[in-house]
Protein backbone atom coordinates (compact mmCIF):
# COMPACT_ATOMS: atom_id res chain seq x y z
CA UNK A 1 0.00 0.00 0.00
CA UNK A 2 1.35 3.39 -0.97
CA UNK A 3 1.54 6.25 1.49
CA UNK A 4 -0.39 8.61 -0.72
CA UNK A 5 -1.03 11.09 2.06
CA UNK A 6 0.35 14.22 0.46
CA UNK A 7 3.03 16.22 2.14
CA UNK A 8 1.98 19.70 3.06
CA UNK A 9 3.45 22.24 0.64
CA UNK A 10 6.19 23.43 3.00
CA UNK A 11 7.35 19.84 3.69
CA UNK A 12 7.33 19.04 0.00
CA UNK A 13 9.26 22.23 -0.84
CA UNK A 14 11.83 21.40 1.86
CA UNK A 15 12.29 17.87 0.51
CA UNK A 16 12.68 19.15 -3.05
CA UNK A 17 15.18 21.79 -1.84
CA UNK A 18 17.17 19.11 -0.02
CA UNK A 19 17.43 17.07 -3.24
CA UNK A 20 18.50 20.14 -5.24
CA UNK A 21 21.12 20.99 -2.62
CA UNK A 22 22.81 17.65 -3.31
CA UNK A 23 23.46 18.26 -7.04
CA UNK A 24 26.69 20.22 -6.46
CA UNK A 25 27.94 17.34 -4.30
CA UNK A 26 27.58 14.77 -7.08
CA UNK A 27 30.82 13.15 -8.20
CA UNK A 28 29.96 12.74 -11.87
CA UNK A 29 33.14 13.54 -13.75
CA UNK A 30 32.47 10.90 -16.39
CA UNK A 31 28.80 11.31 -17.27
CA UNK A 32 28.42 14.96 -16.17
CA UNK A 33 24.89 13.92 -15.11
CA UNK A 34 24.40 15.15 -11.54
CA UNK A 35 21.53 13.73 -9.53
CA UNK A 36 20.37 14.69 -6.05
CA UNK A 37 18.02 12.64 -3.92
CA UNK A 38 16.17 13.25 -0.68
CA UNK A 39 14.16 10.68 1.25
CA UNK A 40 11.65 11.30 4.01
CA UNK A 41 11.13 8.57 6.57
CA UNK A 42 8.05 7.92 8.64
CA UNK A 43 9.52 9.96 11.48
CA UNK A 44 9.84 12.99 9.20
CA UNK A 45 13.63 12.81 8.99
CA UNK A 46 15.23 13.75 5.67
CA UNK A 47 18.10 11.71 4.22
CA UNK A 48 20.05 12.91 1.21
CA UNK A 49 22.46 11.61 -1.39
CA UNK A 50 24.15 12.42 -4.69
CA UNK A 51 25.47 10.14 -7.38
CA UNK A 52 29.09 9.04 -7.09
CA UNK A 53 30.88 7.73 -10.18
CA UNK A 54 34.07 5.74 -10.51
CA UNK A 55 36.48 5.11 -13.38
CA UNK A 56 35.23 1.53 -13.26
CA UNK A 57 31.76 2.74 -14.25
CA UNK A 58 29.72 -0.07 -12.74
CA UNK A 59 31.15 0.60 -9.29
CA UNK A 60 29.45 3.99 -8.99
CA UNK A 61 26.21 4.56 -7.11
CA UNK A 62 23.15 6.57 -8.01
CA UNK A 63 21.92 9.31 -5.69
CA UNK A 64 18.86 7.32 -4.64
CA UNK A 65 20.95 4.37 -3.50
CA UNK A 66 23.49 6.59 -1.73
CA UNK A 67 20.65 8.24 0.23
CA UNK A 68 18.78 5.05 1.06
CA UNK A 69 21.87 3.09 2.11
CA UNK A 70 23.01 5.99 4.30
CA UNK A 71 19.58 6.23 5.88
CA UNK A 72 19.31 2.50 6.52
CA UNK A 73 22.74 2.27 8.11
CA UNK A 74 21.87 5.17 10.39
CA UNK A 75 18.61 3.74 11.72
CA UNK A 76 15.94 4.84 9.28
CA UNK A 77 13.05 2.52 8.76
CA UNK A 78 10.04 3.05 6.56
CA UNK A 79 10.26 5.74 3.86
CA UNK A 80 7.24 7.77 2.77
CA UNK A 81 8.62 10.01 0.02
CA UNK A 82 11.59 10.11 -2.34
CA UNK A 83 12.60 13.12 -4.44
CA UNK A 84 14.92 12.79 -7.43
CA UNK A 85 16.22 16.09 -8.81
CA UNK A 86 18.06 16.44 -12.13
CA UNK A 87 19.19 19.40 -14.19
CA UNK A 88 17.18 18.21 -17.19
CA UNK A 89 14.34 19.58 -19.28
CA UNK A 90 11.97 16.85 -18.06
CA UNK A 91 11.77 14.93 -14.77
CA UNK A 92 14.03 11.87 -14.75
CA UNK A 93 12.90 8.64 -13.13
CA UNK A 94 15.13 6.33 -11.10
CA UNK A 95 17.14 3.75 -13.07
CA UNK A 96 16.28 0.06 -12.92
CA UNK A 97 18.76 -0.71 -10.15
CA UNK A 98 17.38 2.10 -8.01
CA UNK A 99 13.82 0.96 -8.66
CA UNK A 100 14.75 -2.47 -7.37
CA UNK A 101 16.33 -1.01 -4.21
CA UNK A 102 13.31 1.25 -3.70
CA UNK A 103 11.04 -1.79 -4.00
CA UNK A 104 13.05 -3.61 -1.36
CA UNK A 105 13.44 -0.75 1.13
CA UNK A 106 10.86 1.94 0.25
CA UNK A 107 8.01 -0.03 -1.30
CA UNK A 108 5.31 2.27 0.09
CA UNK A 109 7.00 5.54 -0.86
CA UNK A 110 5.84 8.08 -3.39
CA UNK A 111 8.61 9.12 -5.79
CA UNK A 112 8.67 12.74 -6.94
CA UNK A 113 10.87 13.49 -9.94
CA UNK A 114 11.82 17.16 -10.45
CA UNK A 115 13.33 18.86 -13.51
CA UNK A 116 15.34 22.09 -13.66
CA UNK A 117 12.28 24.28 -14.31
CA UNK A 118 10.44 22.82 -11.34
CA UNK A 119 8.26 20.45 -13.38
CA UNK A 120 7.35 17.47 -11.26
CA UNK A 121 6.06 13.95 -11.86
CA UNK A 122 4.94 11.70 -9.04
CA UNK A 123 4.64 7.90 -9.11
CA UNK A 124 4.42 5.16 -6.54
CA UNK A 125 7.31 2.69 -6.41
CA UNK A 126 4.89 -0.02 -7.61
CA UNK A 127 4.06 2.09 -10.69
CA UNK A 128 7.76 2.46 -11.44
CA UNK A 129 8.46 -1.26 -11.06
CA UNK A 130 5.49 -3.43 -12.06
CA UNK A 131 6.07 -7.15 -11.62
CA UNK A 132 8.87 -6.48 -9.14
CA UNK A 133 11.30 -9.20 -8.07
CA UNK A 134 11.40 -9.60 -4.30
CA UNK A 135 11.82 -12.09 -1.48
CA UNK A 136 8.62 -13.83 -2.54
CA UNK A 137 10.49 -15.18 -5.57
CA UNK A 138 13.18 -16.64 -3.32
CA UNK A 139 10.91 -18.96 -1.39
CA UNK A 140 10.77 -22.44 -2.88
Residue among 134, 106, 131, 89 at smallest CA distance from 37:
106
d(CA 85, CA 93): 9
User: Cβ(35)–Cβ(24) under 8 Å?
Assistant: no
Q: Which of 42, 53, 64, 127 is catalytic?
A: 64
Distances (CA, A) of 60 to 27, 29, 63, 93: 9, 11, 10, 18
Interhelix angle for 96-105 vs 63-73, to 10°?
20
**What are the residues facing 52 on neighbouring strands?**
27, 61
- Give the 3-state secondary structure of residue 37: strand
The answer to whether residue 53 is catalytic is no
What is the set of active-site residues?
A: 64
Amino acid sequence: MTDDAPLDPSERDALVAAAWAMLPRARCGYSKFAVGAALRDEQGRVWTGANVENASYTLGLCAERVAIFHALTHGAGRFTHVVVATDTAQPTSPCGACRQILWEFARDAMVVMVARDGAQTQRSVAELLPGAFDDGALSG
